[in-house]
A and B are shown apart, each in its own frame.
Chain A
Amino acid sequence: MSLPKVRVPYLLLFPGFAFLFTFFILPIINLAQTSTQTPIAGGDTGQYEQTLAFSNYVQAFLDNKEQFGRSFLYATLATVLALAIAYPLAYAIAFKSGKFKNILLVLVVAPFFTSFLLRTIAWKQILGEEGFVVPGLRSLHIIGQQTTLTSTSVAVVAGMTYNFLPFMTLPLYASLERIDPRTIEAAGDLYANGITAFRRVTVPLSMPGVVAGTLLTFIPAAGDYVNAAILGSPNTKMIGNVIESRYFKIVDYPTAAALSFTLMAAILILVTLYIRKAGTEELV
């Protein structure tokens, strides 16, 4: 009972620290060690020794430049598409939904009631020959009569957009909902028409949500491999797929580890640049 007050915060932090240390810091150190190992001469598959072979990084990157590029391209496309879909959606829920607000929010989260994998597999059906999308697009002559959508980059990006949409919508909604509607009225009162008021007041005030939403979409999307594995083909392989197959199929742990670190570093750099540019610390 007579716990000194200074110790309380540390005690509260302890479980979190202990958990993260055991299941994040230690494995990361382990991963870092693995990334510079080389195969033991004459040893079995999967046996490696520490030789501080930093050349693993160079080799791993050069071998998989294409997949890296594709990962960031797909993640960017999915993020932009998700933003384009989620912004009007979040706006409508925040400002126009009235008594349906809570129902709509539940619907945004509803996909989480089903497994991520199942939903992605379902997209395979939706985009397949028997689904309604492909015949529909064909009959409207939007795509050619022979064109298919499964195993294409379109399918992968569409699947990623769908899967990460709630992560974009919820932070956007949260920041739009915080906007005092009277500031938008004030913009109208001060000679801004609807579009100008949106551009000058609504958008800047929703920037924290835009930044949070794009990060929550882009970061997992860049490392994603499920969508590419289920909806794509060997031509749409992302870096996540390469890491997965290096680990579990080729048992090439050092390359997989080096690729993982390269991906982490690349995301970290991109995110830092993005946050600097977006300048969210300027916002209240």
Chain B
Amino acid sequence: MSKDSISARGDLKLTRITKSYGDFNAVDDLTLTIPKGSFFALLGPSGCGKTTTLRMVAGLEEPTVGSIHLGDTDITTTRPYQRPINTVFQNYALFPHLTIFENIAFGLRRRGIKDVKEQVDKVLNLVELPHLAQRKPTQLSGGQQQRIALARAIVNRPALLLLDEPLGALDLKLRRQMQIELKWIQREVGLTFVHVTHDQEEAMTMADTIAVMNEGKIEQMGSPADLYDNPKTAFVANFLGQSNLIKGKIEGNDGDNLVVDLFGQKISMPKNRSHAVDNSMYAGIRPEKFRISLLGTSVRGNQLTGGRIEDVSYIGVSTQYVVAMPWGQEVMVFEQNDDGVPPFDKGDEVNISWEPNFTFGLRGDEDIEAGTEVNPEELEEE
């Protein structure tokens, strides 16, 4: 089995994986298929099990229960060096005693590949650092080390490339640039990338498919647009961007729409965007989907009246408002500054309105704070 495993190709399938440390399940009965050739992101806060999942795929940890298949080959217990999988480690883990050239050649030499020089040169050109071949890793900047770590992995043309918070140590500007570059390189080389991150923007920029993980389980999986527009849980709604979640009650049907009562005001929303299990529901609306209008103006779509502007922050491209609603909740509204109309002032009495199709419905028993907590450790990494 181990001899064949190195040439295994195909979709990565995790089947009912659990990883326990004592009583604690870092990964809890996780089933997941990552299609060949995709750019897949595992997104979640620290401690959600995403890194443990990645390490099990790499072979650095063994699942307590469950199996991992690459194509038709079972690699659950295959040693890391017998898997056609390479990793870009967090903080890169370059070999400090070897030159950049030898770092990249390491995997090729272990497999007895003939044209080492040619392949290393090619990948150094791909990451645009051919002039650094004879340097040592410590002589490189963080961004350069990041690219070399990537080059060292992709030169082996693995069936699967794992990226463990690969951009975490870079500053914001460099991170943005590398996000675009990574995406481009993935298309260029056509490998399956599995990317682990706690940075939702990073995941959304790069990945075709995102699996949002929380407490060892997948909360929701889908394209960035799916997850953002129609989150299934409060955790996803809050972890990917910001959400306004308003407590409501499903009153009845109106064709393909539900009629929902939000503190005495009726709104409608598409049935298929509701994840409620009974008639209690949280109606979710993203801040940029709201429109603000002065009291007495008539607008299309759903409308909630009785708001008062509590706070105004002018950001340039947009203005962010905090609007106090009559039932005591404060909602966030982002308005594009594209209409030449001066922003509303603090204290203005307003209505908020939105297109019914933008509404998503969460179960009424959700913890609406889930996914909003900021982990102090992650703040430090920023």
**Chain A residues with a Cβ under 8 A of chain B:** 180, 182-183, 185-193, 196-197, 200-201, 204-205, 207, 282-284
Q: Assess the A186–B156 pair: CB atoms within 8 A.
A: no
Q: Which of B149-178 contact A (CB under 8 A)?
A: 152-153, 156
Give chain B residues whose Cβ lies under 8 Å from the Cβ of A189. Answer: 58-60, 80-81, 85-87, 89, 153
CA distance A62 to B89 in the complex (A): 61
The binding surface of chain A is classed by DSSP as helix
Q: Assess the B89–A284 pair: CB atoms within 8 A.
A: no
Q: Is there a chain A Cβ closer than 8 Å to B252's Cβ? A: no
Starting from the known contacts A189-B87, A189-B89, 11 additional A-B residue pairs (CB-CB under 8 Å) come to A180-B93, A182-B90, A186-B87, A186-B89, A189-B153, A191-B81, A191-B156, A192-B110, A193-B81, A205-B95, A284-B136
Give chain B residues whose Cβ lies under 8 Å from the Cβ of A186. Answer: 87, 89, 93-95
Q: Assess the B81–A188 pair: CB atoms within 8 A.
A: yes
Q: Which of B81-129 contact A (CB under 8 A)?
A: 81, 85-87, 89-91, 93-97, 106-107, 110-111
Nearest B residue to A204, CB-CB: B97
Nearest A residue to B164, CB-CB: A182
Give chain B residues whose Cβ lies under 8 Å from the Cβ of A282. Answer: 97
Q: Assess the B97–A284 pair: CB atoms within 8 A.
A: yes
Chain B proximity of A107: nearest CB distance (Å) = 29
Give chain B residues whose Cβ lies under 8 Å from the Cβ of A284. Answer: 96-97, 136, 138
Give chain A residues whose Cβ lies under 8 Å from the Cβ of B81. Answer: 188-193, 197
CA distance A190 to B81 in the complex (A): 6
Give chain B residues whose Cβ lies under 8 Å from the Cβ of A205. Answer: 95-97
Give chain A residues whose Cβ lies under 8 Å from the Cβ of B58. Answer: 189
Nearest B residue to A197, CB-CB: B81
Chain B proximity of A113: nearest CB distance (Å) = 37
Interface size of B in residues (CB-CB distance below 8 Å): 26
Partner of B111, one of A187, A191, A197, A200: A191
Partner of A188, one of B79, B91, B97: B79
Give chain B residues whose Cβ lies under 8 Å from the Cβ of A207. Answer: 97
Give chain A residues whose Cβ lies under 8 Å from the Cβ of B87. Answer: 186, 189
Partner of A185, one of B93, B106, B153: B93
Give chain B residues whose Cβ lies under 8 Å from the Cβ of A187. Answer: 95, 106
Chain A proximity of B223: nearest CB distance (Å) = 29
Chain A proximity of B116: nearest CB distance (Å) = 13
Give chain B residues whose Cβ lies under 8 Å from the Cβ of A196. Answer: 110
Chain B proximity of A159: nearest CB distance (Å) = 35
CA distance A182 to B85 in the complex (A): 16
Give chain B residues whose Cβ lies under 8 Å from the Cβ of A180. Answer: 91, 93
Give chain B residues whose Cβ lies under 8 Å from the Cβ of A204. Answer: 97
What are 14 A-B contacts defined by CB distance under 8 Å?
Answer: A182-B90, A183-B94, A185-B89, A186-B95, A187-B95, A188-B60, A189-B59, A189-B87, A189-B153, A192-B106, A201-B95, A201-B97, A205-B95, A284-B136
Give chain B residues whose Cβ lies under 8 Å from the Cβ of A201. Answer: 95, 97
Q: Assess the A190–B110 pair: CB atoms within 8 A.
A: yes
Most chain A CB inside 10 Å of its own CB: which residue of B86, B96, B153: B96
Give chain A residues whose Cβ lies under 8 Å from the Cβ of B97. Answer: 201, 204-205, 207, 282-284
Give chain B residues whose Cβ lies under 8 Å from the Cβ of A190. Answer: 81, 86, 106-107, 110, 152-153, 156
CA distance A222 to B270 in the complex (A): 88
Chain A proximity of B168: nearest CB distance (Å) = 14
